[in-house]
């Protein structure tokens, strides 16, 4: 009888551990997009760590954008300066060599925005293949709210206000002379660079919108 009780207790504890892990630490994500093609294909499954991780350059993350969960590679960290020249990425004025799985060739069949004018995201006639230099916001970074700077960072400031209900800056932040970022941001790009809508289009991602870091493929 005692052995049976021990087995039941062990089984219950095992289930509790699994539930805690699932709720707070790990999650399975199924790829359903082509922006990481070659690295991952549609239907591939990955395990993500949701907490207690450090994000480094080249890590792959899941994040929330426009009510969707997306998967991209982290290229730029908070405080980095990024620019893209003829499709080549430079971080803090140093060329970033792409992973071997990255698709660099721009095919007319999949290149969905070669000529896209992303003025309303960055305030200039930048494209995903020629843009910057652009300073990625980090927590505590203070900017002067000139019209040009506002055009570069408006979406990010709005995202902070939406994510931080206790933020001292309110929706009338444009009336202020300066803004100090409350969160770190990350520049995320798909490995299928010709067919990925990412930070080159919608800007860096607030750390509060990160869902987790990919740790293994399943």
Q: What span, in angstroms and rounded, lies between the C-alpha atoms of 123 and 117?
A: 10
The architecture of the domain spanning 2-217 is Ribbon (2.10)
CA-wise closest residue to 154 among 130, 173, 129: 173
Identify the pLDDT of residue 158.
83
- Within 13 Å and on the Cβ side, how many CA atoms surround 43? 0
Identify the pLDDT of residue 22.
57
* Percentage helix, strand, coil for the chain under 3-state DSSP, each rounded to 5: 25, 30, 45
* Burial class of 169 by CB neighbour count within 10 A (0 to 12, 13 to 18, 19+): middle
Q: What span, in angstroms and rounded, lies between the C-alpha atoms of 121 and 179?
A: 18
Using the 8-state DSSP alphabet, how is residue 39 labeled?
T
Identify the pLDDT of residue 70.
95
72 is known as an active-site residue: yes
Query: Is this structure's pTM higher than 0.85?
Result: no
pLDDT by position in tens, the chain (length 218): 666 666 555 556 555 555 555 555 568 899 988 889 889 998 999 999 988 899 999 999 999 998 899 999 999 999 999 999 988 999 999 999 998 888 876 554 444 554 444 545 555 677 788 888 899 999 999 999 888 888 788 888 888 877 654 444 455 666 778 899 999 999 999 999 888 889 988 889 999 999 999 998 88
Give phi and psi for 150, each to the nearest 5.
-60, -40
Identify the pLDDT of residue 3.
67
Identify the pLDDT of residue 168.
47
Own/partner pairs, 167-176, CB within 8 angstroms, 24+ separation: 173/145, 174/145, 174/150, 176/145
Give CA angle at 139 (57, 182), nearest 5°.
130
The single residue of 35, 159, 196, 199 carrying the catalytic annotation is 35
Integer CA distances (angstroms), 122 to 10, 88, 150, in order = 56, 19, 9
The single residue of 37, 72, 135, 213 carrying the catalytic annotation is 72
Identify the pLDDT of residue 11.
53
Integer CA distances (angstroms), 86 to 32, 118, 128, in order = 29, 16, 9
């Amino acid at each position: 009888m005692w052995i049976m009780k021990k087995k039941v207790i062990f089984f219950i504890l095992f289930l509790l551990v699994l539930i805690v892990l699932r709720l707070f630490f790990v999650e399975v994500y199924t790829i359903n997009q082509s922006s990481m093609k070659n690295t991952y294909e549609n239907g591939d499954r990955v395990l993500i760590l949701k907490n207690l991780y450090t994000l480094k350059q080249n890590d792959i993350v899941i994040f929330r954008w426009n009510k969707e969960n997306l998967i991209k590679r982290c290229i730029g960290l908070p405080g980095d300066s990024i620019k893209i020249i003829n499709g080549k990425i430079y971080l803090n004025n140093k060329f970033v060599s792409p992973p071997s799985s990255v698709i660099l060739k721009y095919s007319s069949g999949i290149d969905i925005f070669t000529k896209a004018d992303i003025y309303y995201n960055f305030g200039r006639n930048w494209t995903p293949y020629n843009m910057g230099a652009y300073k990625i916001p980090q927590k505590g970074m203070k900017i002067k709210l000139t019209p040009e700077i506002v055009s570069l960072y408006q979406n990010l400031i709005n995202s902070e206000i939406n994510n931080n209900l206790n933020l001292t800056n309110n929706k009338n932040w444009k009336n202020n002379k300066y803004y100090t970022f409350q969160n770190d941001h990350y520049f995320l790009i798909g490995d299928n660079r010709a067919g990925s809508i990412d930070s080159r289009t919608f800007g860096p991602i607030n750390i509060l919108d990160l869902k987790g870091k990919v740790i293994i493929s399943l």
